[in-house]
A and B are shown apart, each in its own frame.
Chain A
Amino acid sequence: MPVILQLLLFPSAATLEVKNETLAIFNQDTGPHSIELIQRFAQAKAFETTVAVHDEREMQRMIDQQQAVLVLRFPETFSRRIESGNGPEIQAIVDGRRSNSGQVALSYLQEIIQSYQAERMLTATPQLQPASEVVVRHWFNPNLNNAWSIVPSLVAIITTISTLIVTALSVAREREQGTFDQLLVSPLTPRMVMIGKAVPALLVSVVQATIILLGGIFAYRIPFQGSFLLLYGSMIFYIIALAGFGLFISSICQTQQQAFLGVFSFMMPAVLLSGFVSPVENMPGWLQIVTWFDPLRHFIVIVKGVYLKDMGAWAVASNAWPLLVIAVLTLGVTDVVFRQRLG
């Protein structure tokens, strides 16, 4: 049930798109060009409403009170200067509290202005074709649909949550309930106990990941481009690497509460630094090195790559081997800790 809810909520909520915004315009120009441009701006996909403002104080208020993300001002001389071939300037004030949206909205406006200019050029001097033009294509996600980027990441994140909860809390619960002592006196070796804890996590996580995948393919209709074999193969590596972290947290915690906080303290940075929210390449160099130890960072690249880009076996392997290294490290440490506790 929570999985379904997350599948519904995440793709539409976790968005950096710019939609339904208000564009405020202070037009001091009386010529035709500003009016033509404003009409085109109003049709941009980022803006739902355009509001006219009539003086500078109002401009300021629109931004201060967050009624618009962007206010444009066409100076009095705007149309005249266009006609005379001088470059007029449109002033824009952007709400710096939402500078990312502001920048994206600005780039939409800039695009509209460019095509307007190109059209004018063409009607003025039809014999002179523009020398060059730009064609933009977005590969792997032609309409830059947010859900296409979020659902594959969600496969990775949901697996993370379930694997960690199952592995980290299980040993702590046995300790709290006293059943851990029974395990101690049984002929099981620490390794067998660890495998016994990891296998259910693997099953639960694979099932949840499959639910998200099916939801992505059939409900969101995001075409699956790659190979299921590669995806599930690397998913097993990923879950083992994570189970290593989970069991390690479990082995050093006495109570479920501590284990829960341990999971939380691990998961929060793991998700934030994985490239899910913002690309790893935007982070400072030292932090990029730290993220190498974040299994989610590698797995998100694999899931997105296989799902959207039909990533090949070689590329998958080059992102999967760090998972193997992480798994060996964490399981090794956990093994030592377990042995001390059990022996």
Chain B
Amino acid sequence: MLSLKSFSEAIANQKRNSPTFRRLFALCRKETLQIWRDPSSVLIAVVLPVVMLLIFGFGINLDSSRARIGLVVEDNGAEVQRFVASFVGSPYIDAIVGTRPQMEQALADGKIRGLVVIASDFAEKLDRAGETAPVQIITDGSEPNTANFVAAYARGAWQVWLRERAAARGQPMPPTLQIDARFWFNPSALSRNYIIPGSITIIMTVLGALLTSLVVAREWERGTMEALLATSITRSEFLISKLLPYYVLGIASELICIAVAVFVLKVPFRGSIVMTLLVTTFFLLSALGLGLLLSTATRNQFDAAQGALNAAFLPSMLLSGFIFEINSMPLPIRLVTYLIPARYFVNAMQTLFQAGYVPQLLWRDIGCLIASSIFFLGLTAKLTKRRLD
């Protein structure tokens, strides 16, 4: 009578003894030792992700929380004093007062990002009926994103002043028409909260594609490929032995990244870990597949690494939507982004961190990632030949 337990043991035994399993185990062990004994790959797997995440977390901040704005006040009446006070009092503005040439110089030097000019006849025009007192806002257009924020903040401070003035004089003002905006998932509208989940994509790309781009080419360059070919391993055993250790490495640093993001950088994580690992698995398979493909095709470490930089790293930085807006790109480039696996991974990570579980989005992303892993791994398998050319 065969119990279930002994049955499964029997299968396990058979597996252990089967040549496939033994070869696979030996190869994986060799690959893992190779990773372990090369200090540079441990550096890449553990140190680099943490350093990169911290750089992304602290270094990239699109929220100009305090814009440095210069004030040029050529008039010194009480009204203008109140105007200046509304700028100094704004929580969004660091106001500096100076003369026009000083401030224009500061703008050109990038020391301030905008300036507000109040001409000498400001108070006069303000009081005279039928005249409009102009306030000039000048921004540093060489930083377009910051320029938008500066203009909006300065306009806001101006409005505060205008209302207070009208209220003090009992003048009619058009009813305040405000937009009461709520930022879903991210109530204080911190750019960090979506940039960090997206940047995990960049880190996984570097790990997956850059590291594996070197591994097959290395065997060819060092001449150990011939030795491997002389053994009885099959093509899929060879590929799995190259994939598995790097996959484990990738998942490990993904977990490190999430821990750093949540506990050090305080980014809220609302999704499920299981779902995250599932998405990561398919992204890693696709990135590893691309790396292996380059490595197999070039048989040269230098070319493969350069290829990985251009085919994996640059697109994942530029075309994945992790910082730069895909919607704002011209149509041909927008179409290209659909072919970039990183695009789907960025989207999934941002959704998992911020929104939690949005099935329509996540399963679409996973589907696209599965398709791209099949494509890259399939192509690699096709190119891997079991003979010396």
* Cβ of A76 under 8 Å from chain B: no
A82 at the interface (CB under 8 A from B): yes
A328 proximity list for chain B (CB < 8 A):
none
A96-B328 contact in complex given A125-B172, A133-B132, A279-B64, C-beta closer than 8 Å: no
A309 in complex: contacting residue of B44, B108, B179, CB < 8 Å: B108
Residue on A with the closest CB to B210?
A: A264
- Closest residue of chain B to A98 (Cβ to Cβ) is B194
Known: A99-B194, A132-B132. A94 touches B184 (CB 8 A): yes
User: With A and B bound together, what is the CA distance between A98 and B355 in angstroms?
Assistant: 12
A-facing mask of B319-343, CB < 8 A → 1, else 0? 1000111011110010000000000
Roughly how many angstroms separate A199 CA and B224 CA in the complex, as a whole number? 37
Q: Is A97 an interface residue (CB 8 A)?
A: yes
Of residues 186 through 212 on chain B, the ones whose CB sits less than 8 Å from some CB of chain A are: 186-187, 189-191, 193-194, 206, 210
Check A268–B52 contact: CB distance below 8 A: yes
- Chain A neighbourhood of B40, CB < 8 A: 257-258, 261
Q: Which of B12-20, B148-156, B240-248, B286-294 interfaces with chain A?
A: B148-156
Question: Are A283 and B59 touching (Cβ within 8 A)?
Answer: yes
* A144 contacts across to B, CB distance below 8 A: 141, 144, 147-148
- In the complex, A181 has a CB within 8 A of chain B: no
Q: Is the CB of A134 within 8 A of B141?
A: no
B177 located at the interface, meaning its Cβ lies under 8 Å from any Cβ of chain A in the complex: yes
Instruction: Given A90-B178, A111-B155, A132-B132, decide whether A102 and B355 contact each other with a Cβ distance below 8 A.
Output: no
Are A132 and B194 in contact, with the CB atoms below 8 A?
A: no
CB-nearest residue of chain A to B161: A132
CA distance A93 to B182 in the complex (A): 5
Q: Does B162 contact A (CB under 8 A)?
A: yes
Comparing B23-31, B123-131, B226-234, B378-386, the segment that makes contact with chain A is B123-131
Q: Once the chains are docked, how many angstroms separate the CA of A64 from the CA of B113? A: 35
Q: Cβ of B76 < 8 Å from any Cβ of A? A: no
Does A16 sit at the interface, judged by CB under 8 A?
yes
* Cβ-defined contact, A66 with B133, below 8 A: no
The answer to whether the Cβ of B165 comes within 8 Å of any Cβ in the partner chain is yes
Q: Which of B61, B131, B154 has the most CB of A within 10 A?
A: B61
* Complex alpha-carbon distance, A66 and B326, angstroms: 12
B276 / chain A contacts, CB cutoff of 8 Å: none
Contact with B along A109-122 (1 / 0, CB 8 A): 11101101110110
Least CB separation from B67: chain A residue: A281
B95 contacts the other chain (CB 8 A): no
Take A20-B328, A283-B61 as given contacts and tell me if A272 and B56 are in contact as well, using a CB distance cutoff of 8 Å.
yes
* Residues of the A chain whose Cβ atoms lie less than 8 Å from the Cβ of B190: 99
Determine whether the beta carbon of B333 is less than 8 Å from that of A13: yes
Q: With A96-B354, A111-B155 in contact, do A135 and B172 touch (Cβ < 8 Å)?
A: no
A184 contacts B by Cβ under 8 Å: no
Contacts of A117 in B (CB 8 A): 174-175, 177
Inter-chain contact B183/A138, CB cutoff 8 Å: no
Determine if A235 is an interface residue (Cβ-Cβ < 8 Å).
Answer: no
Bound Cα distance from A265 to B49, whole angstroms: 11
Number of interface residues of B (CB under 8 A): 101
- A182 located at the interface, meaning its Cβ lies under 8 Å from any Cβ of chain B in the complex: no
**Could you tell me if B139 and A137 are in contact, using CB atoms closer than 8 angstroms?**
yes
Q: How far is the CB of B262 from chain A (nearest CB, A)?
A: 17
With A107-B152, A133-B134 known to touch, is A282 a contact of B63 (CB < 8 Å)?
yes
Query: Which one of B65, B180, B214, B351 lies within 8 Å of A282 (CB-CB)?
Result: B65
Residue ID in chain A nearest B178 by CB atoms: A89
Q: Chain A's nearest CB lies how many Å from the CB of B293?
A: 18
A138 and B141 CA atoms in complex are apart in Å by: 5
B368 contacts partner chain A, Cβ-Cβ < 8 Å = no
Q: A2 interface residue, CB < 8 Å from B?
A: yes
Q: Are A93 and B135 in contact (CB under 8 A)?
A: no
Q: Is B33 an interface residue (CB 8 A)?
A: no
A42 at the interface (CB under 8 A from B): no
Q: Find out whether the CB atom of B143 lies under 8 angstroms from the CB atom of A99.
A: no
Q: A110-B179, A132-B126 are in contact. Are A103 and B189 (CB under 8 A)?
A: yes
Cβ of A113 to closest chain B Cβ, rounded Å: 5
A146 interface residue (CB < 8 Å to B):
yes
From the candidates A65, A110, A139, name the one contacting B140 in the complex (CB within 8 A): A139
Q: Is the CB of B301 within 8 A of A256?
A: yes
**A132 lies within 8 A of B328 (CB):** no
Would you call B325 and A101 a contact (CB within 8 A)? yes
A91 close to B180 (CB less than 8 A)? yes
Q: In this complex, what residue of B is CB-closest to A91? A: B180
A141 at interface by CB-CB < 8 Å: yes
CA distance A269 to B52 in the complex (A): 7
For the complex, give the distance between the alpha carbons of A98 and B349 in Å. Answer: 13
**Is B151 in contact with A107, judged by CB distance below 8 angstroms?**
yes
Contact of B139 among A94, A139, A272 (CB under 8 A): A139
- Name the residue on A nearest B349 (C-beta): A97
- Taking a contact as CB atoms under 8 Å apart, the answer to whether A141 and B323 are in contact is no
Verify if A81 is at the interface (C-beta below 8 Å from B).
yes
B333/A9 in contact, CB under 8 A:
yes
A90 touching B142 by the CB < 8 A rule? no
Q: Which A residues are in CB contact (< 8 Å) with B65? A: 282
Q: In the complex the two chains form, is A90's CB within 8 Å of B144's CB?
A: no
Q: What are the nearest 6 A-B pairs in CB distance?
A: A96-B186, A141-B141, A138-B141, A87-B176, A96-B185, A107-B152
Instruction: List 19 interface pairs A-B (beta carbons < 8 Å), by A numbering.
Output: A10-B318, A16-B145, A65-B360, A91-B179, A99-B183, A99-B194, A100-B191, A133-B135, A135-B136, A136-B139, A139-B138, A149-B142, A149-B143, A256-B301, A257-B302, A268-B55, A272-B59, A281-B68, A309-B142
Sample of 7 further A-B pairs with CB below 8 A, known A99-B63, A134-B134: A97-B350, A125-B172, A127-B130, A139-B139, A257-B40, A283-B59, A305-B110
Binding site for A on B (CB under 8 A): 40, 43-44, 48, 51-52, 55-56, 58-65, 68, 105, 107-110, 113, 126, 129-149, 151-152, 154-155, 158-159, 162, 165-166, 172, 174-187, 189-191, 193-194, 206, 210, 214, 218, 301-302, 305, 309-310, 318-319, 323-325, 327-330, 333, 347, 350-351, 354-355, 358, 360-361
